[in-house]
Every structure is written in structure tokens, then in C-alpha cells.
Homo-oligomer: A and B are copies of this chain.
């Protein structure tokens, strides 16, 4: 019985370290884990460099196995310590954590399989945990909330951009297509229009004719000017969401939400918000 209690205690302790970001040990665990994930990703990336020195490649494979073993132990401990292992295993992070270790084991059987690299790259998704770390939670939430609020407007903006690049792509195909082999199809012309309107400007496809260059100039200035639109939208969302810092309080009488932080009375029914708290303070 004491043994069982002891095991339970260890289990709870492991859970606290691995899953909770509030405790000191939990924070240290999170940071060490993130550094390991980062290093393992860098190692996997370097491994793909051609003509790499033989010794370095040898060392990278050793590192690869060390990282995989650590992540395997971590994965087992996560399943062991959680009360509902099936829920964790089937969760987003559970699947990502498993995919982070599987490719290395599979490489024993299917040597040199290219497709495994992409799965190994999934290990990067584990870095998303960073946004759950204490010091970044607030910033992440402000960004995510602003993005969510901006989404319909950004969508409309992207539809507009899509329309413009399709129309310019089609026109440029007609204008340049006959003399310029770079514009040999509409999809390629649309690719060029995207490269141009986003001001990326690779230069792999460029107009030669006077009309083509004139149309390009219009597209560039358009891209240069309309970038103001998403920027203005997101700016206004962030500023508004800051100014209001809308309270999460709900009126007890009419269930209305969206009260300002400094509101003492419900703006819809006129009753006090949180009267109990008021009295507690008094």
C-alpha cells in the first residue's frame, strides 16, 4: 500500500515536471526540452548537406540517436504520468511527439528513405510548445486574438490579391507569352504576378516588352501600396484590443458580456457587475 502511494507520488511529481509550466522544475524542463528539440532539428538539417565531412556525418548520426532516445524516454514518461494516456496519445502533441521519434527507428529498416526527412521535420512542430511557456503566453494570446479578429478582413484582402494576380497573370500571358518563353503558361504568369505583387521579385521571370514592363510597374506599385491594408487592419485590431482590455466578467442579471475593465454596472441592464466582490472589498 505504501509502495502504491509512493509510486503515485512519483507519478504526480513527473506529471508536474513534464506537463506543468508553472513550477520551477517544470520551467527548467520546458527550456531544456526546447533546446534539445532545436539542436535535433539543426542536426537533421546539417545531415542533408552534400559532400559533408565523413567524421561530422558520423557524429551527427550518434547525436540523432541520443536525441531520439531522450525523446523516447520523455514520450514514455508522458504516457506513464498522465491519468488519461489514451487522450494524450491521440492528442495533437501526442501524435507529434510520436512522429518525432519514429523516423529514426524506421531508418534502421528503410535506409536512406527521403520521405522520412519530412516526417523528421515534423519534430519542429514540437517547438509550438514555446507559445505555451509562461513568458510568451500573453504575447502569443494578443497576437492570436488580433489575428482571429482580423481574419475576415485579411481573407477579403487575400481574395482581392488573388483576383488581381489572376487577372494580371492572364494579361501578361497574352502580352509577353508570344515573345518571352518565361511566360509560357497562365499558372507560371500567375506565379510571376505573386512574386511581383508581394515585392519579393526573384527576377527568374521578368518582362521584356514595353507593355509588359508598364503593366509590371502598375502591379508593383499596387503591391507596394496595398500592403498598407493588412497592416492597418492588424494595427487597429491590436490597438483596439489593448485599449479595451475587455473584461471577462458576465452580468449576473442579463448574462451580457463585453464589459470594459472599469465598468461597475452592466451597460445593458444597469445592474451591478460582481456585487459580491464589491462588498468583499468594502
A residues in contact (CB < 8 Å) with B:
41, 44-46, 48-50, 114-115, 117-118, 120-121, 124-125, 127-128, 130-131, 135-136, 138-140, 142-143, 146-147, 150, 152-159, 161-163, 166-167, 169-171, 173-174, 177-178, 184-188, 190-191, 194-204, 206, 210, 213-214, 216-217, 220-221, 223-225, 227-240, 242, 254-255, 257, 259-260, 262-272
Alpha-carbon distance between A227 and B228 when the two chains are bound, in angstroms:
8
Which residues from B are CB-within-8-Å of A167?
A: 121, 124
Q: Are B231 and A171 in contact (CB under 8 A)?
A: no
Contact (A230, B230) CB under 8 Å given A155-B139, A163-B128, A270-B271: no
Residue from B163, B199, B224 in contact with A127 in the complex, judged by beta carbons closer than 8 Å: B163
- The A interface is mostly helix, strand or loop, or mixed, namely helix
A156 touches B174 (CB 8 A): no
Chain B residues contacting A140 (CB-CB under 8 Å) are 156
Asked if B185 contacts A200 (CB within 8 A), the reply is: no
Please judge, given known A-B contacts A186-B48, A199-B198, A223-B200, whether A235 and B228 are in contact too, CB under 8 Å. yes
**Shortest beta-carbon distance from A12 to chain B in Å:** 31
